[in-house]
A and B are shown apart, each in its own frame.
Chain A
Amino acid sequence: MATLKDVAARRPIAATIRLIVPAGGARPAPPVGPALGQYRLNLMAFCKDFNARTQKYSPDTPMAVTITAYKDNTFEFIVKSPSVSWFLKKAAGLELGSERPGHVVASSLTLRHVYEIAKIKQTDVSCKHLSIEAICKSIIGTARSMGIEIVKDL
């Protein structure tokens, strides 16, 4: 994987590829294979790199990856943690959110859960500049829209 140099030396971009890959499970087979292969990117390097970087997640967590492929066949990628709604559903043990959020409560979670999710989210590039408090508030908002109640203690 190419190291990130300063933005001024930006190389010509060939394509932007978005993928969903299970954590630690990138293999040179579809979906990774065809998507990267058509731009002649080094599949093995990506798989190894991606797998190593996602070791801290439990296997088969769906990770969203955005790969920027440059014209000289090098690439860079950003791995995003799964969506907040996915975390909430997993923590609450639900398949789907509530059918009538605001009226029907699907499940409840404690502030401890919210804090743990916020800690993982903070490692995400898009949330780095936010305080833990701000991330927690946004998670609580998402939970409310899914019909998951947040309580102090269960």
Chain B
Amino acid sequence: MFTGLGHHLRFLRRIFALEIPSRSVPLPPFPVPSNPFSVTLTEAAVGSLLRPPSFYLHRMRRRIPTERIQFCTLTAQPEHSDASPYLSVRIRCLKRDADMLSDALLCFGANSASMDELSDSHDLDEIWITCIFADHQDVHTCISQAVGSFGLNYVPKYEISAGKICDWTTNVQESFHPIEVVTGLWIVPKWREPPDLQATNIILDPGMAFGTGEHPTTKLCLMLLHRLLHGGELLLDYGTGSGILGIAAVKMGASSSVGIDIEPQAVISARENVALNGISSSKMSVYLVPNATGTSNADEETENPEKRTLLGFQPDCSKGKFDFIIANILLNPLIELAVDIVSYGRPGSNIGLSGILSEQVQQIKEIYSQYLENISVSDMEGWACIHGTKKEKLDM
């Protein structure tokens, strides 16, 4: 019976030229006859076959996703904590159905759906949609549900391939170039040469953490540091990401920096960058801290030995010690953690806050005006940075 069905499938494959996924890809274990993709002898299905000449189908079938293989350098990339493989599916359909099909696919479980704009489309009026699914998902069911949901009258052909992490991380890394933030201060990615060896160069390998120097908020914070640091300060980089602000402070003359972040990946990246810039860990130390708001991963952290090496910050000893605090995060954390952020500074210390849009400045000002005075705002390209000094007399 099984061989009979297998034979039936092979027969179908030839007649309908369907890309019935081969066994190497995760599938429902048995090609069930009620699978809507295998049979529907409708007029439209046969029609769509007869319309394009047969050489089309051969060309389409032989179209291996070569673009992906070329980018995958397969170097020894460190395994990131959320490095999960994913499934990439290329679906072919008519242009007029593409929008609806993408939306339907998103509703039924696809993580994303992208459409390339083909300016010179030799594929007549058909277009490719590239969908990304999580590794364990049932692509078959999702596509059939999506197609059924808005009554598509033909069966779109598709091919599945497994995607690897290196496919897209190398792409992104290639786009970083050295940037001059203020005169004499350059941010240089690890794999490029500094254009000006005399200037202050910060060498970075951001990896999966935030802070390449390109973003307006990073630039605003760096300009603030450049303006206000005169030397010998103790700086706290709250939400350090790649460590860029802490490192910049040390290079500009601060006596030492401490960086803290809730993401283990950020702490690892930051420590690597500190070493890359030749700064000793006594001058700049980076720690993982628990997420003070919402979900607490306390159990997870103590069980995981790797994470334990990242811990070590003593919040109680550090309160009221720092001369400069810089926090480039997001609106909600800045509001929720206002008391925490301000508590680390000594009276009269400088506090810089960023990662907010210009329209969010008012909310921050309202909350922080009880702790800070001389509040000033600088902005760039719709992003803002707020600076103030901690009030002398505060009950904290």
Contacts and interface: CB of A to CB of B under 8 A. Distances in A.
Interface of A: 3, 12-20, 24, 27-45, 47-48, 51-53, 55, 59, 64, 73
B183 to A, nearest CB: 24
Contact of A45 (B130, B132, B215, B332): B215
B235 to A, nearest CB: 22
Nearest to B135: A30
Contact of A12 (B82, B119, B360, B382): B119
B113 A18 contact: yes
A52 B360 contact: yes
Given A15-B116, A18-B112, A30-B86, A42 B381 contact: no
A12 B117 CA distance: 9
Given A37-B168, A48-B355, 8 more contacts: A3-B382, A16-B114, A19-B112, A31-B111, A35-B114, A37-B167, A44-B206, A52-B360
B341 interface: no
B330 A52 contact: yes
Contact of A15 (B71, B88, B114, B356): B114
Contacts of B215: 44-45, 48
Nearest to B163: A34
A19 to B, nearest CB: 4
Interface in B146-181: 163, 165, 167-169, 171-172, 174-175
Given A40-B174, A59-B294, A34 B88 contact: yes
A18 B356 contact: no
A131 B38 CA distance: 48
Contact of B168 (A19, A34, A42, A64): A34
B115 A34 contact: no
B21 to A, nearest CB: 19
B368 to A, nearest CB: 16
Interface residues of B, number: 51
B298 to A, nearest CB: 19
B280 interface: no
A79 B69 CA distance: 32
26 contacts: A15-B115, A15-B116, A16-B117, A17-B112, A18-B106, A18-B114, A19-B112, A29-B208, A31-B132, A31-B134, A34-B168, A35-B111, A37-B168, A37-B169, A37-B171, A38-B71, A38-B167, A42-B175, A44-B214, A44-B215, A48-B215, A52-B330, A52-B356, A52-B360, A52-B383, A64-B106
B324 interface: no
Contacts of A33: 165, 168-169
Interface in B220-251: none
A30 B84 contact: yes
Interface of B: 67-68, 71, 80, 82-84, 86, 88, 102-103, 106, 111-117, 119, 130, 132, 134, 163, 165, 167-169, 171-172, 174-175, 206, 208, 210-212, 214-215, 217, 294, 330-332, 355-357, 360, 381-383
A42 B106 contact: no
Contacts of A73: 175
Nearest to A33: B168
Contacts of B382: 3
Contacts of B356: 52
A14 B171 CA distance: 16
Contacts of B82: 27, 29-30
Contacts of B217: 48
A18 B330 CA distance: 24
A127 to B, nearest CB: 17
A17 B114 contact: yes
A48 B117 CA distance: 26
Contact of A51 (B167, B214, B330): B330
Nearest to B109: A20
B295 to A, nearest CB: 10
A55 to B, nearest CB: 4
Contact of B112 (A24, A27, A31, A48): A31
B287 to A, nearest CB: 21
Contacts of B86: 30-31, 34
B294 A53 contact: no
Contacts of A36: 168
B297 to A, nearest CB: 15
B357 A17 contact: no
